[in-house]
Amino acid sequence: MTHAILPLDRQGMSLIEVTVISGRSLSQARSRELGKFSDEYSRSVAVCELDPEDMEELGVLEGENVRVKTQFGEVVLRATTSKQAPHKRVVFIPYGAWASMLFGTSTHTSGMPTLKGVKATLERTPHQKVATLEEITRMKVD
């Protein structure tokens, strides 16, 4: 599988093509006990785990915001260095409202939408904020 580095966008930030996978994370499970509207839950789920080399290439710092965009939607998330590296050009986003912005609704008769292997672009967006769960919920309704 090859991934291209795309040209600079209008804001002068480089983009890379990535493959998005989603699943449960341990920190998500622990923080869920405090409630889905807790700050701890948001901090554990509104994240994008990146390969350290991808972070370096984009100039993304730990905790800085990135935008992930698929054919289905886009979302701003907090970047974090993956402890599962190396996995260049593959990003992990925990299941949840933020990840749901990036995946289609078709279940292909399985009862579960495709939550792995979705192509996306990723860009550094340090000045854009991560939406709250309330904001994400309103976006999905509108």
Looking up residue 129, the CATH number of its domain turns out to be 2.40.40.20
- Please state, rounded to an integer, the average pLDDT across all residues of the chain: 82
In Å, the largest CA–CA distance within the chain is: 43
* pLDDT tens profile 77-134: 999 999 998 999 999 999 888 998 998 876 666 666 667 789 999 999 999 999 998 8
142 vs 140: CA distance, rounded Å: 6
Which domain does 101 fall in, by range?
A: 5-141
Q: Which of 10-19, 30-39, 102-111 has the lowest mean pLDDT?
A: 30-39
Residue type, 49: E
Where is pLDDT greater, at 40 or 20? Answer: 20
Indicate if the pLDDT at residue 5 is higher than 70. Answer: no
Angle at 41 between CA 85 and CA 69, to 5 degrees: 55
Alpha carbons within 13 angstroms on the beta-carbon side of residue 57 total 18
Split at pLDDT 50, 70, 90, the class of 12 is very low
For the chain, percent of residues with pLDDT exceeding 90? 52
Q: Which residues contact 66 (CB under 8 A, 6 or more apart)?
A: 48, 50, 58, 60, 76, 77, 78, 79, 122, 123, 124, 125
Tally of domains in the chain: 1
Q: Supply the pLDDT for residue 47.
A: 96
- The pTM score is 0.80
pLDDT average, residue stretch 53-57 = 93
